[in-house]
Amino acid sequence: MSNQTKYNSYRQTFPEFVYESYQYDVQPDGLHIVFTFRIGDSICFHPTSVVVDQPFLHFDQPAELMDRLIFNIGMAELVSYWKCLCPPCVKVECGSLNESQRNFWKNVYYHGLGEFFYTNGIEASITDFMDIVAPNEYAPCSLSPSSTAANDYLVPIGGGKDSVVTLDLLRENAKGRVVPMIMNPRGATVGCIEAAGYTLDDVAVVKRSIDSNLLELNSEGCLNGHTPFSAMLAFYTILTAQLSGIGNIALSNEDSANEATVVGTSVNHQYSKSLAFENDFRHYVDQYVGKGLNYFSFLRPLSELQIAMLFSRTDRYYDIFRSCNVGSKQDIWCGHCAKCLFAYIILSPFIPPQRLNAIFGKAMLEDGELKPIFNQLVGISDTKPFECVGTIEEVRTALSLTARRWYSNQLPTLLKDYPLGEPTTPLDRLSPHHNLNNQEIAILTRYVQAQRV
């Protein structure tokens, strides 16, 4: 049975997905959250999360605000459960949504599922893939300006190079607190914050669990694929910032996240890291959750190449950071995936080959078996890897700089048949499309100009 046939059949058999309830309470170890989603009478999901108690967290927030924050986290969580059977109707029983809000969520779901539809060979349009049914009222809600600190920053840490660049630059230059946030701590995330001078006692930690029923359905052959994780994370950051009394949530999504993964389409693996999502999310929070929280990407004006350049200025993270999804559970670089090859390439102009090989455990540009992935990264193939990787132009520029700087005598295997061109991605220019203030732009400008090669 094709996935399109499955999709059509499931939608007839399971016409309705219900967001039934959310519950939360403060226990000795933190804020516990439980969501209830239901498909028909026999399939029920209860995903859970815990915002771990810390001295700087204040759980005594206004009930109306907490309801709004947690209800919207549930709206972001539900799409991961919806996708297994793709019911045509999502019925919201525990909150209200006006037309503008319903349009926001349909947009997030549809574009956030672009890779899911594409890789599964499913044809779906934004008008017919889902209808959201909910009571049609939602009153405005405003946070008191005094409830959040305008000079403080919450920085989500994922264990890769980008978030530690944000953490370092703000820690060195911000006027207020800079608090890391980690979802489901693992080796690389904990190692990175410790290398930056923090301990877990200084970090906002969210422990999120997936309902085992979803994993069971996936194992039985139900539809599966990529969902907009960063959109879900965005709503958790808003909750955590409010509990911490912090006014700014500084993400580490770069300008490159706006490029489509499939050439000539709007399919983008990184949609929920894009500026389009960021702008929509900022408007939604301001209108329907509360004012006073500033969600933005600190690295938005930069390319992946510039971020790699800034990352290379200190070696304290070299042996700690990890971006490999395949090896994330083992906290390793697998050395065989697109994420590993891209990270190697984008860092290669700035870190000597011998040191780079020690970081990744191999000379990746000498591995001829990576040629198909290489072709995707440089644009020879029509489709980029479905991973968080930079633009084709950035990869080509990185390879040109690398060849000139380190391989003037003999090119490595992957570059021997590749037509190296002139570098075209500037290292000293910042994109004007972002949500940073003048002080934040000045920080980036100063460090980029000091570091460029």
Q: Which two tokens stand for residue 322?
A: 């990890």
pLDDT at 357: 97
Classify burial at 44, counting beta carbons within 10 Å of its beta carbon; exposed 0-12, middle 13-18, buried 19 or more: middle
CA nearest 223: which of 388, 432, 379, 2?
A: 2
Distance separating alpha carbons of residues 232 and 234, to the nearest angstrom: 5
Q: Are 68 and 97 in contact (CB under 8 A)?
A: no
Report, as an integer, the average pLDDT of 423-450: 93
Give me the count of residues in the chain. Answer: 453
List pLDDT tens digits, range 225-250. 999 999 999 999 999 999 999 999 99
The span from the CA of 230 to the CA of 444, in Å, is 23
| pLDDT of 453 above 60 | no
Residue 235 neighbours by CB distance under 10 Å: 23
Q: What is the pLDDT of residues 325-374, one digit of tens each?
A: 887 778 899 999 999 999 999 999 999 999 999 999 999 999 999 999 99
pLDDT bucket at 140, cuts 50 / 70 / 90: low
Work out the burial of residue 238: count CB atoms within 10 Å of its CB; fewer than 13 is exposed, 13-18 middle, 19 or more buried.
buried
* Strand (E) or helix (H) holding 24: strand 16-27
Convert the pLDDT of each residue in 200-230 to its tens digit: 999 999 999 999 999 999 999 999 999 999 9
**CA–CA dist 361, 409 (Å, integer):** 23
DSSP letters of 92-158? Answer: E-SS---HHHHHHHHHHHHHHTHHHHHHHT----TTTS-EEE--S--------GGGSEEEEEEEE--
Q: For residue 254, what pLDDT is reported? A: 86
Helix (H, G, I), strand (E, B) or coil at 283: helix
Q: Give the Cα separation of 221 and 154 in Å (integer).
A: 39
What's the mean pLDDT in 114-122?
94
**CA–CA distances in Å: residue 123 to residues 2, 3, 78, 113:** 12, 10, 21, 12
DSSP label at residue 280: H
pLDDT at position 258 is: 77
CB atoms inside a 10 Å sphere around CB 363: 14
Q: In this predicted model, what pLDDT tens digit does every residue of 20-44 receive, in sequence order? A: 999 999 999 999 999 999 999 999 9
- Residue 331, amino acid: D
Model confidence at 403: pLDDT above 60: yes
The predicted pLDDT at position 181 comes to: 98
Structure tokens at 209: 């669990």
**Residues 68/253, Cβ–Cβ less than 8 Å:** no
Query: What is the residue type of 216?
Result: E
Distances in Å between the Cα of 453 and the Cα atoms of 118, 308, 309, 354, 407 are 39, 12, 8, 19, 16
For residue 266, give the 3-state DSSP assignment.
coil
Gap between the Cα atoms of 180 and 164, Å rounded: 10
Residue ranges covered by each domain of the chain: 3-137+148-297, 322-429
Query: Given a cut of 90, is residue 389 above it in pLDDT?
Result: no
Q: Is the pLDDT of residue 450 over 90?
A: no
Q: Decide which of 106 and 325 is more confident.
A: 106
Dihedral sign for Cα 214, 215, 221, 225, please: positive
Q: What pLDDT was estimated at residue 139?
A: 62
Please state, in angstroms and as integers, the Cα–Cα distance from residue 295 to each residue in 111, 142, 235, 253, 279, following that order: 20, 16, 10, 12, 9
Average pLDDT for 120-131: 96
Are 338 and 389 in contact by the 8 Å Cβ rule? The answer is yes
What torsion do the CA atoms of 292, 199, 330, 222 make, to the nearest 10 degrees?
-30
Cα–Cα distance measured from residue 315 to residue 99, given in angstroms and rounded to the nearest whole number: 50
Q: Residue 146 pLDDT > 60, yes or no? A: no
